[in-house]
Amino acid sequence: MKTKKTKRKDKFYLEFSAANRLGICLFRYQLSPVQKFLAVNPALANILGYSSEKEIHKLKFKSLFKNHGDAAEFLRLLKDEKTVRFYETIFKTKDEKDAWVAITASFVESFNASKHLYIEGMLEDITKHKELEEKFAFEQELFQNLLDNLPDAVYFKDRKNRLIRVNRFYAEGFSMTPEEILGKTDFHFFPKEQAQKMFDDDTYVLTTGNPIIGKIERTLLPNGTHNCVTTTKIPIKNKHGEMMGTMGITRDITAYDQMEKSRLDMVMSSLKVLDRVLEIRDPYTFGHTRRVSIIAEKIAQEMGWDENKILSLKMSAELHDIGKILIPLEILNKPGKLSELEFKLIQEHVKKCYDMLKPHSFPYPLPETIYQHHERLNGQGYPRGLAGEKIIPEARVLAIADVLEAMTFHRPYRAALGIKKAVQELKDNAGSKYDQDIVKVILKIINENNFKPFWINNDEDSVI
Ligand SMILES: [Fe+2]
Ligand SMILES: [Fe+2]
């Protein structure tokens, strides 16, 4: 027995000595018959703000705990399991401040004949760790709150464009929980073509590191309706600058889009009123600008032009012949062949329209498009005889739409020539008068429509 006692005592004090050198807090506390600290090292005194370990010797173990419940639980665990590892609790310092500690201790029933009970253990000061943990938890909570209360869809994707985190708004849009969405891609939620565009955008951000900011998209929702959204996608990199994935924010602007559409409808309606004035004066032009606008829009859509460029083209189409309002009616409506002078007067409608529009500012080359709509690639058009690259794409489209419409309708000086002749005219002069690529596009569209003029959209139009 004497040997065992000596061995145990030596081992503890050996550790105690080493702990002192390493700054590790060690203690031995006697639970019975009398509760008291038997050994406390300077490191523990230091954590608790005591000038020496002697002051701690006067305290009870339980009184070190800030919460009595924790003290009771710790002792219960210790009795049940004999050893408790990294029990996290708050100790009170001498000046009543909080000190987070992690206690690892063993319950020692007796190591000699005395049957005394002891706790032997060590402490780790984890205050700084806890402060960081709390700060991190607070920031996490703040971040999650921000995400979940945003009225926008926020989503994070990995390098394979798989969703790795979404906010509540995003998930609710698909009647799912955020957890159910994780690991899925846009192909799970959107039609294939649309999802492919989204995938391509993500890939662009991932491979170039460039963001996509405020892209406007019309999205087909699972319920079959469309909404209009603006999407921003940015790359996410780690601290070494390596690409980790993308983050996206999508905002629903359907209401704004509808309001914009209403405004545009109002503007387009005003233009139609202007057209109507021309049509009343010159009934032979009835519906011409509207039909030209339909053809031009279709070509531009097929060519993948952006919405605003198409809108500018449509407005150009609506206005392109408004200059005719200043041409004497007897010349405009003259049946039969025009004299050279009369033809020159009719040609002036282009310049007259341009002069009316020129003083006003347009974000797109609307006046120039109209100015060039009778120009031809070979330089044999009017009024300036522009050739080749000097003719802007919008004017090239408008010229083809104008010719196609004009040839399929009556004119004062001739009957309608029909769609086959119009197609022949375009084919024969593709590359000389007309832009070859645009001719290809319109011929493709006409073929797809089985040579039925898709620009006819009401009973008032008639084709011969
Ligand atoms: Fe014209
Ligand atoms: Fe025209």
Tell me the two tokens of residue 321. Answer: 């012949």
Same domain flag for 18 and 101 = yes
Cβ–Cβ under 8 Å, residues 392 and 377: no
Beta partners for residue 40, in sequence order: 27
Cβ–Cβ under 8 Å, residues 214 and 230: yes
Task: Give the chain's residues under pLDDT 70.
Answer: 1-14, 111-114, 222, 411-414, 457-464
Helices (H), 212-327: 254-281, 288-302, 307-319
Q: Which ligand lies nearest the alpha carbon of 288?
A: 2
Please tell me the distance between residue 307's alpha carbon and the centre of ligand 2 in angstroms.
23
Please tell me the distance between residue 313's alpha carbon and the centre of ligand 2 in angstroms.
13
DSSP assignments along 53-105, one per residue: HHHHHTS-TGGGBS-HHHHHHHHHHHHHHSEEEEEEEEEE-TTS-EEEEEEEE
Please tell me the distance between residue 308's alpha carbon and the centre of ligand 1 in angstroms.
23
Containing domain of residue 118, as a range? 2-126
pLDDT tens digits along 369-399? 999 999 999 999 999 999 999 999 999 999 9
> Residue 329: exposed, middle, or buried by beta-carbon count in 10 A (0-12, 13-18, 19+)?
exposed
Same domain flag for 187 and 329 = no
Please tell me the distance between residue 284's alpha carbon and the centre of ligand 2 in angstroms.
11
Please tell me the distance between residue 332's alpha carbon and the centre of ligand 1 in angstroms.
12
Please tell me the distance between residue 373's alpha carbon and the centre of ligand 2 in angstroms.
8
Residues surrounding ion ligand 2 at CB below 5 Å: 321, 402
Same domain flag for 121 and 47 = yes
* CATH code assigned at 426: 1.10.3210.10
Q: Which ligand lies nearest the alpha carbon of 402?
A: 2
Q: Which ligand lies nearest the alpha carbon of 373?
A: 1
Residues counted in the chain: 464
Same domain flag for 308 and 444 = yes
Task: Please count the structural domains in the chain.
Answer: 3
Please tell me the distance between residue 392's alpha carbon and the centre of ligand 2 in angstroms.
17
Cα–Cα distances (Å) from 337 to 14, 321, 372, 374, in that order, read 121, 20, 24, 19
Same domain flag for 16 and 111 = yes
Other CB atoms within a 10 A radius of the CB of residue 448 amount to 10
Closest by Cα among 311, 286, 287, 308 to 297: 311
Same domain flag for 285 and 410 = yes
Q: Write down the pLDDT at residue 1.
A: 42
In a domain, 460, yes or no: no
Residues surrounding ion ligand 1 at CB below 5 Å: 321
Q: Write down the pLDDT at residue 426.
A: 96
Q: Which ligand lies nearest the alpha carbon of 404?
A: 2
Same domain flag for 94 and 159 = no
Tell me the whole-structure pTM to 2 decimals.
0.62
Cα–Cα distances (Å) from 229 to 182, 201, 267, 439, in that order, read 22, 15, 23, 34
Same domain flag for 121 and 154 = no
Q: Which ligand lies nearest the alpha carbon of 323?
A: 1
Q: Which ligand lies nearest the alpha carbon of 296?
A: 2
DSSP state of 51: S
Q: Which ligand lies nearest the alpha carbon of 287?
A: 2
pLDDT tens digits along 165-201? 999 999 998 899 989 999 999 999 888 988 999 999 9
Task: Write phi, then psi, for 336 (nearest 5 degrees).
Answer: 85, -170
Q: Write down the pLDDT at residue 8.
A: 52
Helices (H) and strands (E) in the chain, counts: 17, 10
Where b means 16+ CB within 10 Å and e means fewer, 381-419 reads bbbeebeeeebbbbbbbbbbbbbbbbbbbeeeeeebbbb
